[in-house]
Amino acid sequence: MSEAVKLKDLCKEFTFTSKDPQRGFLSNIVAPQRKTIQAVDNISLSITKGETVAFIGPNGAGKSTTIKMLSGILYPTSGEIEVLGLNPQRERRQLAYKIGTVFGQRSQLIFNLPVTDSLELFAKIYEIPEALYQTRKAQLIELFSLDEILTQPVRKLSLGQRMRAEIACALLHEPEIVFLDEPTIGLDIVAKRRLRENLRRINQELGTTIFLTSHDAGDVEYICDRTIIINTGKVAFDGLTNVLKKRYLTYKIVQIDYDDTLVGQTIKLDGVSVENSNDHQLTLVVDTNKIGIDVVLKEVVAGRDIADISIYDPPLEEIIEKVYKEAGDA
């Protein structure tokens, strides 16, 4: 398959004026001090069409800066950038017809008008024929359950409703790739789950490439097959999301529900610690580098009446934190 995104030695610097109170007002005006921040530092990567990619990192790592360069909003300081065979800066107009963008904290909908008016405006902007527009509109209304909000002014929508409408507008012209910057920020659990399911469906049914940034590990786990982690402008990890979990997953959480009571139950195994315990439930943290899960289970179920056993991976946030720490120590 062909490449949707190709970056080579991509860099972005921001230079700004810094005021020093000790130098005095005139000195800061006549001879201001300038500081340079390396927001993106020599990033090289490629993304194949149809991939679902999470581009994540701590605040200030360069995520939003990169996505703005990919969509043509910002110019790189140096390096090469190509999206769907086009240069985002020199060929921004042509690229606009092939990509969709959603910035979670910046609306592209018309604030005082109904959602349907924003859809019609996008259809005009992207020069979508009327028949195709009506077909596509009907598909998106069904996919994102927009029926009840089509005639409501955008200002009256909840955050979850607005985000569904935002993504529908971004997909109206059937882009080959959609860039999502914090698409689930501020959404409740139900709204997040629905949005994640819809994005997976769009990718699977239409082959749309999805490139998102997020601080929510759930977005990464449920939407993206591949994860790229950047820290201080550099790539710290690039691989399958499942590989990320396996590589940095050194322990599991084991929860045992007992039919009988836990009076007198003690666990003395190297690599095992008790996270929580009550009369009928025991939660253990097991270091799988030191002891096997089978050994632990054999110990905790011996001679007891068991109602249920659950084994969990730790939250992805903790795994990502390990990657940040390793990158910082390197």
Written as tens digits, the pLDDT of the chain (330 aa) is 689 999 999 999 998 776 767 666 666 666 677 788 888 999 999 999 999 999 988 777 788 889 999 999 999 999 999 999 999 999 999 999 999 999 866 788 998 999 999 999 999 999 999 999 999 999 999 988 899 999 999 999 988 889 899 999 999 999 999 999 888 887 888 888 888 999 999 999 999 999 998 888 888 888 999 999 988 888 989 999 988 877 777 788 899 888 877 665 677 889 998 888 887 888 898 988 899 888 988 888 887 788 888 888 777 777 777 777 776 665
Residue 46: strand pairing partners: 6
How far, in whole angstroms, is CA 98 from its chain's centroid? 21
Burial class, 22, CB count within 10 angstroms (exposed 0-12 / middle 13-18 / buried 19+): exposed
Q: What is the pLDDT of residue 55?
A: 93
Residues 1-50: tens digit of each pLDDT: 689 999 999 999 998 776 767 666 666 666 677 788 888 999 999 999 99
Amino acid (one-letter) located at 147: D
Task: State the DSSP string of 181-219.
Answer: ESTTTT--HHHHHHHHHHHHHHHHHH--EEEEE-S-HHH
- Rounded Cα distance, 51 and 226, in Å: 8
- For the chain, list the domains and their CATH numbers: 3-246 (3.40.50.300), 250-312 (3.30.70.250)
Residues in the chain: 330
What pTM was estimated for this model as a whole? 0.79
With contact defined as beta carbons under 8 Å apart, do 222 and 196 qualify? Answer: yes
Backbone angles phi, psi at 45, to 5 degrees: -165, 165
With contact defined as beta carbons under 8 Å apart, do 66 and 43 qualify? Answer: yes
